[in-house]
Amino acid sequence: MSAKVKFYMFPGSNSVYTGRLMLEHKGIEYKTVKLPPGPHAFIMLGLGFETMGVPALKVDGRRVQGTRSISRFLDQMVPGARPLFPADPGLRKQVEDAERWGEEFQNATRRIFYVGAKRDRKAFASVMTPERALPMRVFLRVGRPLILRLASGAHRASDDAVREDLELLPERLDQIDRWIEQGLLNGPRLNAADFQIAPNISALLRCDDLARLITGRPAAALARRVAPDYPGHLGPVFPRELLAGQQPGTDPPGSGGALESALRAAGVDDARIETIVSRVETIVRPSG
Would you tell me which residues interact with ligand GSH (CB under 6 A)? 13-15, 41, 52-55, 66-67, 103, 106, 110, 154
Question: For the purposes of burial, counting CB atoms within 10 Å of the CB of 263, is it exposed (0-12), middle (13-18) or buried (19 or more)?
Answer: middle
Instruction: Give the span between the Cα atoms of 24 and 47, in whole angstroms.
Output: 24
Smallest gap from residue 251 Cβ to ligand GSH (A): 29
Smallest gap from residue 10 Cβ to ligand GSH (A): 7
Give whichever of 10 and 238 is closer to ligand GSH, judged by the CB atom: 10
Backbone angles phi, psi at 36, to 5 degrees: -80, 130
Smallest gap from residue 110 Cβ to ligand GSH (A): 6
Give whichever of 54 and 280 is closer to ligand GSH, judged by the CB atom: 54
13 neighbors 27 (Cβ within 8 angstroms): no
Give whichever of 56 and 184 is closer to ligand GSH, judged by the CB atom: 56
Q: Report the chain's terminal Cα–Cα distance, integer Å.
A: 64
* Cα torsion through 206, 243, 170, 157, rounded to 10: -70
Smallest gap from residue 278 Cβ to ligand GSH (A): 31
155 neighbors 111 (Cβ within 8 angstroms): yes
User: What is the SS3 assignment for 121?
Assistant: coil
Give whichever of 14 and 152 is closer to ligand GSH, judged by the CB atom: 14
Give whichever of 154 and 268 is closer to ligand GSH, judged by the CB atom: 154
Smallest gap from residue 215 Cβ to ligand GSH (A): 24
User: What is the SS3 assignment for 185?
Assistant: coil
